[in-house]
Amino acid sequence: MRLRKIAALLLVFTVCLTLCSCGYNPKTVGTVTDPEGNKIDITCGQYLLVQYETVMSLLNSAGVSGQIDLSKVLDTEYGDSTVREFIRSSLPEALLRRAVVDYLYDRTDLGDDVATKIYYDNYVQSDWASSSSSYLQNGIGFESFKAYEMQMIKASRIPYDLYGKGGEKELTEEYVNQFIAEKCGRFTYISLPYRKVMGVDLTDEDKKELKSYAEQILATCEEKGVPAHGSAKTVIAAAADEFYTKYQSLLGYEQDMESITYENQRRVFGDGTFTDAQYEQMFKAQPGEFILVDGGDGLYIIAYRTELDPEADTYDELYNEAIAYVAAQEFQDYITEKTEGFSIELDPKAVEYYSPDKIVF
């Protein structure tokens, strides 16, 4: 779900790491105090996971893979300091965000029935089966991993309480209706392949040729139209196939155009299927109209818009889509705002002991 992705950007969650038991080995690294004065211990596992996730995020964003010299990475300049200092300075905010989510969820009316709990347990088990080796080598056990996953789920559900009916920031009927009218629709579409081979872009001349190809497909679709009892998918796929044979040498591989034509799909602005810029073009089309969307860099989408389906696209479902859209825009800021009512105190000795140098890849 999209809100799970949003939640993953907001938080770092609880795991417990099994570390060497000899010598100094604090079980907690500090405390968080909530707005009601309650103190919550920050376990070593929570603190170490923040470091682990932060380092992994930095490495992924930098495209670093394979054998890693962690010490060298941590000593690398990052802004006005080093990666090591950036990690340490970012930990308090990440820990506070986690505390906010726990606090907010505990004060909602959200609850899980037996079937839902079984579903979540199965989901966690599946995730663990595919990723356990990476966690185990860092001393992360299943129960810690389960706590981590379940808190992600909690964070993904809070917006339904926050923006839902009766919530603190309930969406108005006027807003939801406007959202449905402007940002929800059904489309039959094809995204034209635009690479000769994997990872190789078309030349500028090739892209011009592909644009001409896309414009011809659109013209053919508009000329033929969709018969009263016909299918827009058939019309688009047939038009694409007719011109594809002329451009097969350009694209460099065979493609069954009907297999990549999607029929009557509900699409919502911001759902990740297309970029915002592409959606802005698509939603300019009226129901019953074909449109050519320029996706940039030689990518073209031919789409046919239809009306929403009253049976499949219920108000409640689209209300939830509106919640997901709003949450993507402002939920992070809401969490940040809520951290102002919390405070955090870290033990310098424990922080030094649990150095990011102890992370294992």
Domains of the chain (ranges; CATH) run 2-171+318-358 (1.10.4030), 176-306 (3.10.50)
Q: How much is the pLDDT for 192? A: 80
Q: What are phi and psi of 337, to 5 degrees?
A: -60, -40
CA distance readout (Å), 4 to 81, 152, 157, 159? 32, 7, 8, 11
pLDDT tens digits in sequence order for the chain, 361 residues long:
555 555 554 444 434 444 444 467 888 999 999 999 999 999 887 888 778 888 888 888 888 877 888 889 899 998 899 999 999 999 999 999 989 998 999 888 877 667 777 888 898 999 989 988 877 876 677 877 887 788 788 889 999 999 999 999 999 999 999 999 999 999 999 988 665 555 566 778 877 888 888 899 999 999 999 988 889 999 999 998 887 776 666 666 677 788 889 999 999 999 989 999 999 999 999 999 999 998 876 678 899 999 999 999 999 999 999 999 999 999 999 999 999 999 999 999 999 998 888 888 8
Distances (CA, A) of 61 to 7, 87, 174, 315, 316: 18, 15, 40, 38, 37
Length of the chain: 361
Q: What is residue 193's DSSP assignment? A: P
First to last CA, the chain: 28
CB atoms within 10 A of CB 22: 6
Enter the pTM of the model.
0.80
Amino acid at 82: T
What's residue 50's pLDDT?
Answer: 79
